[in-house]
Amino acid sequence: MAVNNRIFLSSPHMSGNEQKYIQKAFDLNWIAPLGNNVDGFERELAEYNTIKDAAVVVSGTAAIHLALRLLNVKSGDIVFCSSLTFVASANPILYQEATPVFIDSEMDTWNMSPKALERALRDAKGNGKLPKAVIVVNLYGQSARIDELVDICDAYGVPVIEDAAESLGSTYKGRKSGTFGTYGVFSFNGNKIITTSGGGALVSNDKEALEKARFLATQARDPAVHYQHSELGYNYRMSNIVAGIGRGQLEILDERVQQRRAIFERYYEAFGDVEGIEFQPELENTKPNRWLTALTVDPEITGISHHEIISQLSEKNIEARPVWKPMHLQPLFDGVKYYSHEEGNSVSDYLFEYGLCLPSGSNMSNEQQDKVIDILKREFEKTVF
Ligand SMILES: *Cc1c(COP(=O)(O)O)cnc(C)c1O
């Protein structure tokens, strides 16, 4: 299974049915460009999420970029974005030569702080320049306080893009994560809960908008036999082979959610009572997919820092990582405006300073997870006693 028996943070886990869809495409010589697997994957993905339409593309990043194009984000515009995220959430803002403003997290979800968002929007209104969009991220599978965030944005008439790249299969008040904004974004990158090797999707209840997204994603070709173009487009569509992998993966998504949640439960059983350790909380009325089990380790109490834990695990060929480095701390975004949760209290700085992600792949065996748990236990015991 694993390369060199390494235990990964999150590695691809096939269902076995992917080959069936790929074979069908080969049998029909429907290798490229679009085709039955693309149509099927889009239909099945929309059905799974109970949303009207889905457009599949080459990456989650491309889907965010298309969402910004659909919302007419242009040079000089402002876009708000969660600070505690992977850089892919924010890069498309720069593709459009727009200006990002980063919003802090809150402790209950580790996601966008409604308080910070409210302050940022009030200021923006005062300055006479509201953002064209707010990109809300659902970190490690946990939904943000999406009702509160959408209500605040609605009050200012600003559309929400829900970056659900990490929360596919999670629910919020019984509804699928990624379906709450004007647009939702999923990723099928190699490390995500399901993968097509690389890929993404843009979802919406606005079918017309998604038709426009498909148009932009295929070089914005005007309906003419000769190649005519009136708008700037991209080559962003998913291939029919890649979509075949997606169809096979979608069949077992719910099983993968159960498996990742079970992995979280085992970590929680082992360390839930250890003083100085706090797992990413689960907001009530939500069911996160627990894409990655994330926790904070306070070295003042445990006697060991997350950096030391990561290197101890690394020595045993086990991959663990710090929590994402917030965007407002990235050299790329030097000088960008940032709204912390409260004056003088930046939650994402805290989470970055103490946060750790443990191996959480659905193909990790119980024995492998026990190995991780044993190493951690030994490390904590060394210092606690
Ligand atoms: C993975 C990820 C993306 C980007 O998806 P790609 O398919 O890798 O382009 C965007 N946002 C977040 C939060 C992610 O984790």
pLDDT over 50 at 385, yes or no: no
Give mean pLDDT, residues 99-115: 98
- What is the tens place of the pLDDT at every residue in 231-286? 999 999 999 999 999 999 999 999 999 999 999 999 999 999 999 999 999 999 99
Structure tokens at 3: 């390369």
User: In Å, how far are 104, 131, 295, 379 from 277, measured between CA atoms?
Assistant: 22, 37, 7, 13
Task: Report pLDDT for 56.
Answer: 98
Residue nearest ligand 1's atom 11 by CA: 89
Which residues does ligand 1 sit against, CB inside 6 Å? Answer: 59-61, 85-86, 88-89, 137, 163, 165-166, 187, 189, 200
Burial of 269 (0-12, 13-18, 19+ CB in 10 A): exposed
Give mean pLDDT, residues 312-339: 97
Task: Report pLDDT for 305.
Answer: 94
pLDDT over 50 at 2, yes or no: no
Task: Report pLDDT for 3.
Answer: 53
Residue of 65, 95, 189 best suited for mutating to test ligand 1, as the one with most atoms within 8 Å of CB = 189
Q: Where are the beta strands (DSSP E) in the chain?
A: 53-57, 78-82, 99-103, 133-137, 160-163, 171-172, 175-176, 183-187, 200-204, 277-279, 286-287, 293-297, 321-322, 338-339, 355-358
Task: Report pLDDT for 380.
Answer: 86
- What is the tens place of the pLDDT at every residue in 124-159? 999 999 999 999 999 999 999 999 999 999 999 999
Task: Report pLDDT for 383.
Answer: 66
Ligand 1 nearest atom to the CA of residue 137, by list position: 13
Distance in angstroms (rounded) separating the CA atoms of residues 335 and 329: 9
Task: Report pLDDT for 35.
Answer: 83
- What is the tens place of the pLDDT at every residue in 152-170? 999 999 999 999 999 999 9
Residue nearest ligand 1's atom 6 by CA: 60
- What is the tens place of the pLDDT at every residue in 166-199? 999 999 999 999 999 999 999 999 999 999 999 9
Residue 142 Cα, ligand 1 centroid: separation in angstroms?
Answer: 15
Q: What is the CATH number of domain 254-381?
A: 3.90.1150.10
Instruction: Give the residue range(s) of CATH 3.40.640.10 domains in the chain.
Output: 18-252
Residue of 93, 102, 163, 194 best suited for mutating to test ligand 1, as the one with most atoms within 8 Å of CB = 163
Total length of the chain: 385
Angle of helix 36-49 versus helix 18-27 axis, rounded to 10: 150
Q: Where are the beta strands (DSSP E) in 153-241?
A: 160-163, 171-172, 175-176, 183-187, 200-204
Residue 186 Cα, ligand 1 centroid: separation in angstroms?
Answer: 8
Ligand 1 nearest atom to the CA of residue 192, by list position: 1
Task: Report pLDDT for 30.
Answer: 81
Question: What is the domain class of 18-252 according to CATH?
Answer: alpha beta
Whole-number average pLDDT of the chain: 95
Reported confidence tier of residue 5, pLDDT bands at 50, 70, 90: confident
Residue 49 Cα, ligand 1 centroid: separation in angstroms?
Answer: 18
Instruction: Give the residue range(s) of CATH 3.90.1150.10 domains in the chain.
Output: 254-381
Angle of helix 146-156 versus helix 114-126 axis, rounded to 10: 10
Residue of 139, 166, 360 best suited for mutating to test ligand 1, as the one with most atoms within 8 Å of CB = 166
Task: Report pLDDT for 28.
Answer: 87
- What is the tens place of the pLDDT at every residue in 203-236? 999 999 999 999 999 999 998 889 999 999 999 9
